[in-house]
Amino acid sequence: MLVRDAMSTVVLTIGPAHTLRQAARLMAARRIGAAVVLDTDAGGLGILTERDILTSVGAGQDPDLETAGTHTTTDVVFAAPSWTLEEAAEAMTHGGFRHLIVLDGDGPVGIVSVRDIIRCWAPARRHPATLAG
């Protein structure tokens, strides 16, 4: 199975000036764990994850003052829609992260998460006997 089969194609894109609280609200409303941060001034894409927000709040920082741009990961590993789920899982395991921005051409076309991969693999990996009982 390929990344294109598992990825979410609805991508939350925010700007670097969004506060962490604004980002958290948008992510929570969509029940997602990451947002793509588009910073046209810095010339690129980054990712802000629920872990980034949690780390900031846990450090005592004010989510109404801290911005997405300050907490965005810019050294991002991108996936292609044609990657296998095994390739995506390997990249996530190697990098220690749970989300990959999926690029096709010039921009993001989706995000694939560990949860997306598990959802695809779990039914296929069950033993037939466990389905009956």
**Strand partners for 8:** 111
Q: How many angstroms separate the CA atoms of 77 and 57, rounded?
A: 25
State the pLDDT at residue 102: 97
Can you read off the two tokens belonging to residue 65? Answer: 């003052």
Q: What is the pLDDT of residues 38-57, one digit of tens each?
A: 987 876 899 999 999 999 99
Lowest pLDDT segment from 22-26, 29-33, 119-123: 119-123
| Band of pLDDT at residue 121, cut at 50, 70 and 90 | confident
| Band of pLDDT at residue 122, cut at 50, 70 and 90 | confident
Long-range pairs, 70-77, Cβ under 8 A, ≥24:
70/16, 71/20, 72/16, 72/37, 72/39, 72/46, 72/47, 72/48, 73/46, 73/47, 73/48, 73/49, 73/97, 74/42, 74/44, 74/46, 76/45, 76/46, 76/47, 76/101
pLDDT at 133 over 60: no
How much of the chain, in percent, has pLDDT values that exceed 70?
91
